Amino acid sequence: MTEASAWGGTVMRRLDDGWCTALNRDTLLCSIYAERPGVCRDYQMGGAECMAERAA
Ligand code: SF4
């Protein structure tokens, strides 16, 4: 479910639709929620960054 980024880090892989491979397309919930990466844990649902992503 991960891949190397252009900067040498490890990131969640995106599918052709541009969304994370771990996202359940039917429920729009994370399918690995209990084991999600730290960056996802730091990302506050409904926060400014979240709302900007949703708007985009
Ligand atoms: S919480 Fe993280 S791992 Fe889960 S679907 Fe969203 S981006 Fe992917």
Pocket test for ligand 1, best of 12, 35, 44 (most atoms within 8 A of CB): 12
Mean pLDDT score of the chain:
92
Q: Measure 18 CA to ligand 1 centroid, in angstroms.
A: 12
When pLDDT is cut at 50, 70 and 90, the band that residue 50 belongs to is: confident
The per-residue pLDDT for range 1-23, each reduced to its tens digit, is 999 999 999 999 999 999 999 99
- Residues 6 or more apart whose CB falls under 8 angstroms from that of 27 comprise none
Give the per-residue pLDDT at 45. Answer: 80
Residues 19, 28: contact at Cβ < 8 Å?
Answer: no
